[in-house]
């Protein structure tokens, strides 16, 4: 009996570790998305502050770089999420659906690209 209890406790610890790994992956994905949104906010702020200067290209260039970084963060965060998710799929876990992070990443990347085009418009 004592060995059965130890095996059961070890399986519980493994289950909890897998849950923590899944939650950490979701937090990391959220951090990528938050950082990308921050980059878009900085891009719009830079454009708002520097649009009144005589040559307007420096503000537009800086804002475009931040928008490009945001697109890379949104898509890179999703790629990182997929990489970690593939490792978890091999463990036969009950994972949340993949469509929501995919939709969020693509929508935010398109919005950041749209903001870059709007800045030049």
Per-residue pLDDT of the chain (121 residues; tens, 9 = 90+): 567 777 777 777 777 778 888 889 999 999 999 999 999 999 999 998 888 887 888 889 999 999 999 999 999 999 999 999 988 888 777 788 999 999 999 999 999 999 999 987 7
Radius of gyration (C-alpha) of the chain in whole angstroms:
21
DSSP 3-state percent helix, strand, coil across the chain (nearest 5): 85, 0, 15
Q: Are the C-beta atoms of residues 79 and 86 closer than 8 Å to each other?
A: no
Q: What pLDDT does residue 17 have?
A: 79
pLDDT recorded at residue 19: 80
What is the domain range of residue 39?
A: 2-120
**d(Cα 65, Cα 20) in Å, to the nearest integer?**
35
Confidence (pLDDT) at 18: 80
Q: CB under 8 Å to 7, separation ≥6 — which residues? A: none
Give the pLDDT score at 2: 65
Q: How many angstroms separate the CA atoms of 54 and 74, rounded?
A: 33
What CA–CA distances, in Å, run from 22 to 53, 77, 83, 95? 48, 15, 12, 8
Question: How many domains are there within the chain?
Answer: 1
Structure confidence at residue 51 (pLDDT)? 80
């Amino acid at each position: 009996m004592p060995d059965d209890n130890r095996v059961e406790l070890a399986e519980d610890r493994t289950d909890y570790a897998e849950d923590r790994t899944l939650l950490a992956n979701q937090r990391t994905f959220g951090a990528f998305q938050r950082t990308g949104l921050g980059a878009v906010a900085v891009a719009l702020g830079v454009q708002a502050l520097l649009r009144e200067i005589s040559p307007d290209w420096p503000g537009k260039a800086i804002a475009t770089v931040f928008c490009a970084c945001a697109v890379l963060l949104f898509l890179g965060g999703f790629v990182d999420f997929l990489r970690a998710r593939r490792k978890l799929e091999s463990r036969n876990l009950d994972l949340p659906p993949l469509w929501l992070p995919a939709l969020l990443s693509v929508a935010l990347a398109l919005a950041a690209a749209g903001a870059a085009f709007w800045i030049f418009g």
